[in-house]
Amino acid sequence: MNRTALITGGSRGLGRTVAEFLAAQKYNLIITARNEDELETSARALRRHGGQVIALAGDVSDPGHRRRLAAAARDLGRLDILFNNASTLGATPLPPLAEYPLEALEEAFRINVLAPIALVREVLPLLEGGLVVNVSSDAARGGYPGWGGYGMTKAALDLASLTLANELSGLSRGLGVGVVAVDPGDLRTRMHQDAFPGEDISDRPLPDVTLPFWAWLFGQPPAAVTGRRYQAQSDCWEVNVPALEEVAV
């Protein structure tokens, strides 16, 4: 049976790049994004690799949509990779944290933190021996002016990733699910352009610059990488984080 990956934010940018890579490795794919036309265009291109591609347009913060994604994974019989890539910048232009509209901050947490955790819960029975990848950002650690809202959500997602890694790798659960957080670095994507309206971001690399990292990561046993945080464009991919056995309780 072919391996299966579920990719959120899979119609363009980093999500589309990872989807293309996995499709070429003969994975079956479930891809989702909010724009149905862009999603279908991506699905048609991905199907040229010969695998099944299920495209389900919707918002990952919608519980009903998450249930549909989980049902599609069940129909394919397994799930080897959950790639939580869908994100929102939050309020734009990026405001100072002290002036951040609270409704926009709540929405950013729903999409960037709660939705990935909820999706893990939905598909967990299918993920035995699989890998969860939560896409993070250097904004989670940088404290950059204007990036506080987005950075807070990614910092929370980093902690959620480590916590899930500790909880899901235990033999008592019998699941052996790996969980990692990955900062892909600055990329030339629409989302990055939205963060810098009117500016030239042509000096940023395209998402395919991260392909050597993904090729390495997806070739590792989940148990060997779980609990780690990675930087996909760094000379040293692994960020120093506590090993599972070193985390204080």
* Amino acid at the residue 111: I
- Alpha-carbon gap, residue 207 to 16, rounded angstroms: 9
- DSSP alpha helices (H): ranges in 32-100? 36-46, 63-76
Q: Count other C-beta atoms under 10 Å from residue 15's C-beta.
A: 25
Report the b/e string of 21-57 with b at 16+ CB within 10 A. Answer: bbbeeebbbbbbbbeeebbeebbeebeebebbbbbbb
CB atoms within 10 A of CB 94: 21
Identify the burial level of 13 via C-beta atoms within 10 angstroms of its C-beta, where 0-12 means exposed, 13-18 middle and 19 or more buried.
Answer: buried
Please indicate whether residue 100 is annotated as part of the active site: no
Q: Hey, what's the torsion of the CAs at 190, 192, 193, 197, to 10 degrees?
A: 140
Which amino acid, one-letter code, is at 85? Answer: N
Rounded (10°) angle between helices 115-123 and 148-168 = 20
**Other CB atoms within 10 Å distance of the CB of residue 106:** 12
- Give me the catalytic one of 27, 100, 144, 150: 150
Distance CA 92, CA 143 (A): 17
Active site residues: 150
